[in-house]
Amino acid sequence: MIQIGKILKKVPIFKMLGKESIDFIVERLKFKTFQKGENICEIGDPGEEMFIIISGETDICIGEKGNQQVVATLKSGDYFGEMALLTGEPRSATVKANEVTETFVLYKNDFDVILEKYPSISLSMGKIVSQRLRDTLKKAASASGEKKDNFEARGDGSGPSGSLKDMALVDLISFCEANSLTGDMKISHGDELGVFEFERGELLNIKLGDLADDAALDKMINWQDGRFEINVRPLTLKTTPEEETVDEVKKVLIVNNSKVVRRVIERAFTGLGYEVSTASNIATSLDVINTVVPDIIITDIKLADGSGIEFIRQVRDTQNVPFIFITDDAVKANFEQELQDVDDVDITKTHEVSEIVKLVENKLLQ
Ligand code: CMP
């Protein structure tokens, strides 16, 4: 058990979790070994589980049998199979063991429970999924036989672009559908700009100036030249199938005299998909709050221009933002006394970032 926990702590999506949370996940993992050359899952199949690689190596392949492209190679600490669980869509790729590969398997029911309990996992997973979709889209695009010059990834994080002379509009639409595009495809022709919006490969609407849907398509289908550009939108994920999507990025303000402490906490929250602002004192914090009201403030109790008590009073004059104070043992008791009538406050004496993350998530996602 302890050993498995150690392995899990090395997986980026679980890194931020404390021991209790890791134990909770460990209890739900199964162990499975695949032989060299074995297909662990196949493109188009329904997805029942995700895998975390303990040892070995897998290729992620797209395309028809006999004409497969490797889009990525995953190793120990990487995971796969999460997309089908998150989207409910069939497997987006075939995953093949390049050598004997040991995995932990997490079945859908447990996966849903874990994501609901630890939303930070779905936040970091969401980023990876979006990146994977982009990579796959680019690979599929370049594999579709287009000349590289005319159909290439722009390297700005978006999908492929190119000329309509090289790929007909109908083929582009099928391409977006086949690759489960969430985002849009823009078609430009002289001064005119048409936009096709997709959600998980489903064409939602088409616009061209005042024209919509069929009328817009009828006009664009006749364009012999022009350019296309496919833009992948980061996915918003469901924590459970019934729940609302997590579509709002939470905002955290970190206030601390020490640049290093600010930076360490900032990195942890940015990595988890939070929008982070930092400030070194009360005055700068109030400026930040005037521009964007954070969902939570994490602050030291002693700042260069005043105490934590003064800080929270000034903020609470206008905004009811929750506070987490970081302090040390010596002053914690006094400080708790002073804050006893103030709502929505947590005090922690730890500087351990994973503990601070847990407190924030309990607060914001309760
Ligand atoms: P899923 O679609 O459930 O099954 C195939 C898995 O391959 C997919 O989840 C991802 O985990 C993984 N995968 C797909 N595309 C990529 C990619 N571009 N890079 C890494 N892994 C990928």
Find all residues with CB under 8 Å of 267, minimum gap 6, and list them. none
If you average pLDDT over residues 116-127, what whole number do you get? 76
Top mean pLDDT of 166-180, 195-209, 326-340 is at 195-209
**pLDDT value, residue 209:** 93
Top mean pLDDT of 151-155, 157-161, 191-195, 337-341 is at 191-195
**Greater confidence, 82 or 148?**
82
**Is any atom of ligand 1 closer than 6 Å to the C-beta of 111?**
no
CA 324, 330, 333: angle at the middle one, nearest 5?
Answer: 60
Q: Phi then psi for 304, rounded to 5 degrees? A: -60, -35
pLDDT higher than 80, residue 194: yes
Give burial (CB, 10 Å; 0-12/13-18/19+) of 211: middle
- Taking Cα atoms as reference points, which of 113, 124, 126, 120 lies closest to residue 25? 113
If you average pLDDT over residues 221-243, what whole number do you get? 70
If you average pLDDT over residues 105-117, what whole number do you get? 91
| C-alpha 97 to ligand 1 mean position (Å) | 14
If you average pLDDT over residues 258-266, what whole number do you get? 78
- Band (pLDDT 50/70/90 cuts) for residue 235 is low
| C-alpha 221 to ligand 1 mean position (Å) | 33
pLDDT higher than 80, residue 101: yes
If you average pLDDT over residues 162-173, what whole number do you get? 81
**pLDDT value, residue 159:** 66
- Band (pLDDT 50/70/90 cuts) for residue 151 is very low
pLDDT higher than 80, residue 43: yes
Handedness of CA 47, 52, 53, 57 (dihedral sign): positive
Q: What is the CA radius of gyration of the chain?
A: 24
Kindly report the average pLDDT of the chain as a whole number.
83
Q: What pTM value is reported for the model?
A: 0.53
**pLDDT value, residue 81:** 95
Lowest mean pLDDT among 98-102, 150-154, 222-226, 313-317: 150-154
pLDDT higher than 70, residue 198: yes
| C-alpha 337 to ligand 1 mean position (Å) | 52
CB atoms near residue 126 (< 10 Å): 18
What are the tens digits of pLDDT across the range 300-324? 988 999 999 999 999 999 899 999 9
Q: Give span(s): CATH 3.40.50.2300, the chain.
A: 247-364
Closest Cα to atom 16 of ligand 1: 132
Q: Give span(s): CATH 2.60.120.10, the chain.
A: 4-122
**Is any atom of ligand 1 closer than 6 Å to the C-beta of 81?**
yes
The residue whose CB lies within 8 Å of the most ligand 1 atoms, and thus the one to mutate among 58, 62, 131, 132, is: 132
Between the alpha carbon of residue 226 and those of residues 101, 121, 164, the distances in Å are 47, 42, 5
pLDDT higher than 70, residue 143: no
Closest Cα to atom 19 of ligand 1: 132
**pLDDT value, residue 158:** 56
**Is any atom of ligand 1 closer than 6 Å to the C-beta of 95?**
yes
| C-alpha 272 to ligand 1 mean position (Å) | 20
The residue whose CB lies within 8 Å of the most ligand 1 atoms, and thus the one to mutate among 78, 79, 95, is: 95
Hey, what are 162's tokens?
A: 């190119």
**Greater confidence, 124 or 347?**
347
Percent of the chain with pLDDT strictly greater than 70: 88
pLDDT higher than 60, residue 253: yes
**pLDDT value, residue 49:** 97
Q: Which CATH architecture has domain 4-122?
A: Sandwich (2.60)
Hey, what are 112's tokens?
A: 């849903």
If you average pLDDT over residues 227-242, what whole number do you get? 65
Q: Phi then psi for 3, rounded to 5 degrees? A: -60, -45
**Is any atom of ligand 1 closer than 6 Å to the C-beta of 16?**
no
Q: Is 37 left (phi over 0), alpha (psi -120 to 50) or beta?
A: left
The residue whose CB lies within 8 Å of the most ligand 1 atoms, and thus the one to mutate among 59, 60, 86, 101, is: 60
Superfamily of domain 247-364: Response regulator (3.40.50.2300)
Lowest mean pLDDT among 13-27, 136-150, 157-171, 274-288: 136-150
Please state, in angstroms and rounded to a whole number, the distance separating the CA atoms of residues 184 and 200. 11
Percent of the chain with pLDDT strictly greater than 90: 36
**pLDDT value, residue 99:** 96
Produce one character per residue of 18-48: b if its CB has 16 or more CB atoms within 10 Å, e if not: eeebbebbbeebeeeebeeeeebbebeeebe
If you average pLDDT over residues 198-208, what whole number do you get? 86
**pLDDT value, residue 29:** 92
**pLDDT value, residue 36:** 96
**Is any atom of ligand 1 closer than 6 Å to the C-beta of 113?**
no
If you average pLDDT over residues 56-83, what whole number do you get? 90
